[in-house]
Amino acid sequence: MRLVGVNGEQLDIVPLGRARELAEAAGLDLVVVSEKSDPPVVRIMDFGKLQYEQKKNLKAQRKNTAVQKLKEVKFHMNIGSNDYAYKLKHAIDFLQKGCRLKATLVLRGREMAHKDMADELIDRIVSELSAYGEADGKPKLLGRNITVTFAPSKSTKKNPKPVRADQVEEEEAEVSADIEDAEEK
């Protein structure tokens, strides 16, 4: 066996019994460093200290890994303007805190027959949240839910301009006026 000393110096190739004697004389343990090499490498060291350092390194690696939380905000088709602004504000807060966001539009009953209106609402949600996070793809219809996930953008503002209910009402009035104009034609 190739023997490595306490300070990392290579001593020599010695039999296992002689390596054990040298380790006991030093008051330390004999630790196998590499058993697949030819000849196997052993080192004289404190095994408890090795375990402590390995645990410490593992803890430091775990500390540096960031776990992102996934938050969800659910919307419905007939949502009021104040409720919409409230939920949108929470969604923006989640993205600013660095959480991933799942925006879900839940369709109930006969709302499944009006997918065009659902698409407009989900597109509006995506466009308003695009300043704070990046959509991970297009909205997907899964059963009765349309979902889209957002990852927080790196250039997210710290103090966003809040969405006011009267702004939402004005936008809804403009959209409904555009729909009425389209129906008249």
| Residue 30 in tokens | 């004999």
For residues 106 and 143, is the Cβ–Cβ distance under 8 A? Answer: no
CA angle 127, 96, 76 (to 5 degrees): 45
Mean pLDDT confidence for 45-61: 90
Q: Predicted confidence band at 60 (pLDDT cuts at 50, 70, 90)?
A: confident
Domains of the chain: 2-48 (3.10.20.80), 70-184 (3.30.110.10)
CA angle 52, 53, 56 (to 5 degrees): 90
Q: Quote the pLDDT of residue 185.
A: 57
pLDDT tens-digit map of 150-161: 998 876 545 445
pLDDT tens-digit map of 96-142: 988 899 999 999 988 889 889 999 999 999 999 999 999 998 999 99
Q: Quote the pLDDT of residue 68.
A: 74
Mean pLDDT of the chain: 84
CA distances for 183 relative to 170, 177, 178, 179, 180, angstroms:
20, 10, 9, 6, 5
Question: 152: number of CA atoms within 13 Å, CB side?
Answer: 19
